[in-house]
Structure 1
Amino acid sequence: MSEMQTNKKADYRFPRDLRAKGLLSDEAFLAAQRMLRPASEWFSWAQNALLFLGSALVLTGIIFFFAYNWKSMGPFLKFILLEAGILVCVISMFVLKLKSVVAKVLLLSASILTGILLAVFGQTYQTGADAYELFVSWAIVILPWVIVSRFAALWIGWLIIVNTGATLYWIQVAEPVHDTSFDLLCVLLAGINCAALVLREFGANRSLAWLQHRWHRGLLLAAVLIALCIPTVKLITEMGVATDGTAALLGSVLWVVAIVGGYICYRHRLPDMLPLALIVMAACLVVLVLIGRIVFEVASGLEEWLFLFMGFIIIGVISCAAVWLRRTAAAIARGNADD
């Protein structure tokens, strides 16, 4: 066996391919699977999953506890319980050291309890603050914890808070007071999440262990594409309508940039099928909306047949996308095997 073959990185697909070619017996295949996926790995996964589930249930219980006992509890008791919970989480995090998963989950719990504390404070004293101010304050207060945590779940949670705060600001201030279009909000949200995605890729390229998982890459890219698809679809459907489409046009241009840039990045620079699948889905959506707009304008009055025709168009576009994705996945797999 050559040196290149002996140094090849094995995964769970490699013994499966050997077995399919008849080069590996059933006993050897099972032994290889046990080596690649040992019981300790499954135990670690189950332990972490139950840890997150238990933490989520406890925090949910705290929220419902305050909601149910709101009238019977005094302000002092409300604050002392929440502050004690935050203090216990932070002290336990320092005792367990920040590198452990339990300590990171405790810091995540402390961050969520901080948001609950701010909400309870606002409800108790009726500060009159808008809802967006709660989320903005929440994001600012927990930002130091987010920075030092090196925990992807906490970063994603912080981004959700920031996105929610920006959306509520548009609902409560920007749109009613300044007449800011929803398309501009979508561009802003896409910019926030795109910046997070770029930082994530930069950190992963610097071999930061907590950024090596793929799930947050797909989540951030999906957030960017969804935000940019909205103004793009609006520009197509409202084409010809006398409205100010500057923000929609900007969002559409950025959508094209995101699609092309994402394809170049995740097909050639950082080959990964999950982002490519998301990019193809976004492209299929916009293409189908554009085709539908053209078809229904050209052949108006034949709607009953046009819906059937569009059904075939949808099947054809999705089928072509699926074939392309399968071929691309095979090409990426061959490239990884050659490496």
Structure 2
Amino acid sequence: MKAILPDKDSRAALLASWFEQGAIEDASPARAWALAQNELEPHGAKDLDLSSGADEDDQDPGRARASSARYWYERLAHLGLYLGALSLGAGVIFFFAYNWENLHHLAKFALVQGAILLSLSGLYFVDKKQTPIVKGSLLLLLDLLVGAMLALSGQVYQTGADPWQLFAIWAAFSLIPALTYRSSLLWCAFIVQANLALWLHFTGLGRLWFLAWDVEIALLLIGVANFGLHLLMDLGARRGWPELTQPLANVFALTVAAGHLVWLGCYKVLDSGLGQSALAVVLALCLLGPLGYFYYRLLRLNVLALGLWGFGAIAVLACFLARLMFEGSDPVGGFMLVGAFIVGSSSALGVYLKSLLSKREEL
């Protein structure tokens, strides 16, 4: 296992993780290694010039175009590797699913277990210092195959009647290599599987440990859980914990949390009318808005988070305004007013976010 997974405190593994996430370039390995020795955060490394020939690129347009072409070639190669891993895993799953009646259950297990052994063999022979992207794609393939193995075991031996248990166990397995290998894609896979497990549990039983009895509580619990994961990853990035310094997974968790909470706000306004529920949603926006601005603007500048929460607040307020207008006698005028509010507020927020990006680039 030592040849497959990096050591916990390995700075070389930290450097490889940053390279996989695109936080640093490979033009100057010596300077990148110096950053790894200092244990800087990836977003801090990205703001620094790691390329020894950056000035020459600015002066030579031909070299700048070649550097840009190399950048996009590497990104497309990375995308091709991950899409290939996803396609291969899906191909194995669909093969024995399509031939389910024609294959003996031992043949099904042999097919999936053979693919798992091949993936483990590939992980063993891939050098983690030289090809972190290949190792990440193989781990993603292995994660898919383990999910297929769990589903096959449950279907053949009827080990679980509830589908949410499959995704819960699968998410627990995905968390182990995500923490050890420090891969954002495995973290994203864990987030998807955990959210599916929660939603399937709510759908099947209607409650979670006797805490949830309707869709509103379900949306609130899932949204708060994802937001807590986002804050935990933010804390890990500030403290320099490489296991939790995952920019892509951090953004994904924040997006899922914002989607659930905004959905909850719109649902409360549209379903409950202009009663206490709608007023509670507006009051929550008034109280939580300044807290979000303080955290994402003053304490830790995060333009993407400001945009997500800002447009989410616009969506909830637009639903509230629409409900208020449509209960009147002039629906056409209400449509015009709601449309003007959405266009005006979205434009103002876009201009503000653009100014924040310009200020951050000047720093």
Q: TM-score range by the shorter chain?
A: 0.7 to 0.9
Query: Which residue of the partner structure matches residue 301 of structure 2?
Result: 271
TM-score (norm 2): 0.73
Greater RCO (Cα-Cα under 8 Å, separation 6 or more): 2
Q: Which amino acid in the other structure matches residue 226 of structure 1? A: G
Partner of 2:140: 108
User: Could you say which residue in structure 2 is the equivalent of 1:189?
Assistant: 222
- Rounded to whole Å, the distance in 2 between the matches of 1:135 and 1:64 is 18
| TM-score, length basis structure 1 | 0.78
Give the superposition deviation at 1:43. 2.4
User: How far has the Cα of 1:32 moved from its partner?
Assistant: 7.2
Distance change (3 Å), C-alpha of 1:240 and 1:114: same
Query: 2:229 aligned with 1:229, yes or no?
Result: no
**One-letter amino acid of the structure 1 residue matched with residue 237 of structure 2:** A
**AA of the residue aligned to 2:65:** R
Shift of 1:254: 6.6
Does 1:317 find its partner at 2:342?
A: yes
Q: Which residue of 1 aligns with 2:236?
A: 203
1:168 maps to a residue whose letter is L
Q: Give the Cα separation in 2 of the matches to 1:320 and 1:33.
A: 39
CA contact (8 A) 2:126 2:134 kept: yes
1:147 alignment partner, one of 179, 182, 190: 179
Distance 1:295 1:146, change over 3 A: same
User: Aligned-pair distance for 1:79?
Assistant: 0.9
Corresponding residue of 1:134: 166
Cα distance in structure 2, aligned partners of 1:71 and 1:171:
29
Residue by residue over 1:131-164, the C-alpha shift from the partner in whole angstroms, topping out at 9 and shown as x without a partner, is 1111112222343222212001101101111110
Shift of 1:249: 9.0
* Cα distance in 2 between the residues matched to 1:149 and 1:197: 19
For residue 76 of structure 2, give the secondary structure of its aligned residue in structure 1: helix
The code of the aligned residue for 1:34 comes to R
* The one of 187, 195, 206 aligned to 1:163: 195
RMSD: 3.3
For residues 146 and 68 of structure 1, do their structure 2 counterparts lie closer, same or farther at Cα, with a shift above 3 Å needed? same
Higher mean displacement: 161-170 or 95-104: 95-104
1:330 is aligned to 2:355: yes
Q: 1:228 to 1:258 in 2, by over 3 A?
A: farther
Aligned equivalents of 1:151, 1:180: Cα separation in 2: 35
**1:333 partner letter:** S
Q: Which moved more, 1:100-109 or 1:284-293?
A: 100-109
Report the Cα distance in structure 1 between the residues aligned to 2:142 and 2:336, rounded to whole angstroms.
50
Query: Counterpart of 2:61?
Result: 30
Deviates more, 1:198-207 or 1:169-178: 169-178
Q: Could you say what secondary structure the match of 2:206 adopts?
A: helix
Alpha carbons 1:152, 1:210 under 8 Å: kept: no
Quick one: distance in 2 between partners of 1:265 and 1:194? 13
Q: Structure 1 regions of 5+ residues with no counterpart?
A: 1-7, 16-26
Measure the CA separation in 1 of the matches of 2:272 and 2:206.
25
**Higher radius of gyration, 1 or 2:** 1
Q: Is the 8 A contact 2:180 2:243 kept in 1?
A: no
How far apart in 2 are the matches of 1:50 and 1:233?
A: 38
Hey, what's the Cα distance between the residues in 2 that align with 1:192 and 1:177?
15
Which range moved further: 310-319 or 184-193?
Answer: 310-319
Select between 95-104 and 208-217 the one with higher mean Cα deviation. Answer: 208-217
CA–CA distance in structure 2, aligned partners of residues 266 and 176 of structure 1: 31
C-alpha distance in 1 between matches for 2:275 and 2:165: 35
Tell me, in whole angstroms, the C-alpha distance in 1 between the residues paired with 2:146 and 2:220.
Answer: 29
- Percent identity over paired residues: 23
Contact 1:183–1:251 (CA under 8 A) maintained in structure 2: no
Q: Report the counterpart of residue 43 of structure 1 in structure 2.
A: 73
